[in-house]
Amino acid sequence: MTGIVKRFPGVVALRGVDLEVEPGEVHCLLGQNGAGKSTLIKVLAGVHQPDEGRITWNGTEVRLSHPQAAMDLGIATIYQELDLVEGLTVAENIFLGHERARYGFSQRRAAARETADLLRRLGHSEISPTAEVGSLSAAGQQIVSMARALSRDARLIVMDEPSAVLDAGEVQRLFGVIRDLTAEGVAVVYISHRLEEIRAIGDRVTVLKDGGTVTTGLPAKETPTAEVIRLMTGRSIEYVFPPRPGVPPGEPLLEVEGLSRAGEFADVDFSVRPGEVVGFAGLVGAGRSEILETVFGARKADRGTVRVGGKALRPGSVDAAVAAGIGLCPEERKSQALLLGDSVATNISLASLTRFAKGGVLDGRGMRRASADIARSVDVRPPDIGREMRTLSGGNQQKVVLARWLLRDCRVLLLDEPTRGVDVGARSEIYGLIRTLADRGVAVVVVSSEIEEVLGLSDRVLVIGDGAVLAEAASGELDERGVLDIVMRGDAA
């Protein structure tokens, strides 16, 4: 890709970007949210057509006028926001667009066999080819998306944040698959905000900033992480978490007792004081997200009690949870938390609309003024509350979700993967926001697949495994190895 320029109304997303990928290499594409990575890979995938520049494939200039043109060449893309059809089976999703057929008749058994082989190759033979994709976890859906790319015999696979919803073991299996692919001459473009992965799997690095190429062809394993951060952000950022003042005194604000939901978790007990950050550590699929969603009322518990300020909440009622002062930032912000086609102001004010309703009429001006004040306080960029939500970077979308609950003055905030897909600069800002909320007396619960993040943010840590609380300790009493030991043993002994 040479001199790629892409303009959208009011913005230049790419400013002459260069990217060269060789057969059999893992080329890491890095940059902060909004740097142009997503636009660039959509140009490569044929979703967007460049306004200037050229794309050369195997020495021949090509025009990727639509996604099928890219796929026909052997370019497959695994997007961060997965483009799967939830109502179809795993096998149907994997072969969608290149169905297995003979004499015009669908060969479902053949597709199922090939699907099983692909899933086995990815180390996930437990996923059934006939299962509906909508019934799978976020991690399971990511595996299906990877299998779909492998099914096309691609020569270049673009992976956008492929490890974001995977646990440590699944990431290692993914790396094994990538190494097998590159040994066969397949090229991989790998995008991740987890910089430690770049050194582990990458060969060369290209860094984008503000829609332009900062550097390209940088050796991944020899370049210090601090230098990569400097190139991405234009400044040095230390990997430090905000200081923790320690577990605050006082009675719990949030109390969860005996919370159970069949097949997901059982007899979960925990409490959070005002101003305390409690972290949930554990592997993907351990039940952490399900516990948060049940506390929030998005799922109904079979038994158990959730109390806020000593008052029990009605089970399975989001309205009751919000009225009691609970807010949730879910794992999948785009599908579960945001109205992507609406404005920033609308998204921020969603949980506070009754505050701006007078006599059944919405005070739009007051709503926009309050939303602008909150957006400014969390530094949403660009500072335009009329902007369509889908145009914001991942980090700024996450800030909008946080701003929603700030405007609501929530007392308890549940954060599920708060920095998933967020760049290193925005990540440090979100850490600061979480600590600021705690300092104001908000009780915070954080779920993260990054154990270092849980330990760094939290005053107290619960280790979750197989839907149960396996251990509880002050964050300073645990390290990453200790957490994994507990998870693998299945108890705290």
Write a three-state SS string for 403-441. HHHHHHCCCEEEEECCCCCCCHHHHHHHHHHHHHHHHCC
- Higher-pLDDT residue of 85 and 82 is 85
The pLDDT score that the predictor gives to residue 244 is: 77
The residue written with tokens 């604000």 in the block is 253
Amino acid identity, position 113: R
DSSP 343: B
| pLDDT exceeds cutoff 50 at 493 | no
pLDDT band, residue 236 (cuts 50/70/90): low
For the chain, helix (H) and strand (E) counts, in that order, are 17, 24
Apex 423 CA angle, 403 and 149, nearest 5 = 110
The pLDDT score that the predictor gives to residue 72 is: 92
Class of domain 254-489 as given by CATH = alpha beta
| pLDDT exceeds cutoff 50 at 298 | yes
pLDDT, mean over the chain: 88
Please tell me if the domain spanning 2-233 has the same topology as the one spanning 254-489. yes
The domain limits of the chain are 2-233, 254-489
Mean pLDDT of 64-90: 89
pLDDT in tens, 165-211: 777 777 888 888 899 889 989 999 999 878 888 989 999 999 998 89
Taking the whole predicted model, whether its pTM rises above 0.95 is answered as no
Amino acid identity, position 470: L
pLDDT band, residue 235 (cuts 50/70/90): low
pLDDT band, residue 492 (cuts 50/70/90): very low
- Kindly report the number of other CB atoms within 10 A of residue 215's CB atom: 15
| pLDDT exceeds cutoff 90 at 40 | yes
Q: Are 189 and 43 in contact (CB under 8 A)?
A: no
Mean pLDDT of 28-34: 84
- Report the run of H or E that residue 321 belongs to, with start and end: helix 318-323
| pLDDT exceeds cutoff 80 at 482 | yes
Residues 4-28, buried b or exposed e (16+ Cβ, 10 A)?
bbbeeeeeebbbebebebeeebbbb
| pLDDT exceeds cutoff 50 at 105 | no
The CATH number of domain 2-233, selected from 3.30.565.10, 3.40.50.620, 3.40.50.300, 3.30.70.3400: 3.40.50.300
| pLDDT exceeds cutoff 70 at 76 | yes
Mean pLDDT of 387-400: 88
pLDDT band, residue 367 (cuts 50/70/90): very high
pLDDT band, residue 491 (cuts 50/70/90): low
Kindly report whether the peptide bond that precedes residue 245 is cis, defined as omega within 30 degrees of 0.
Answer: no
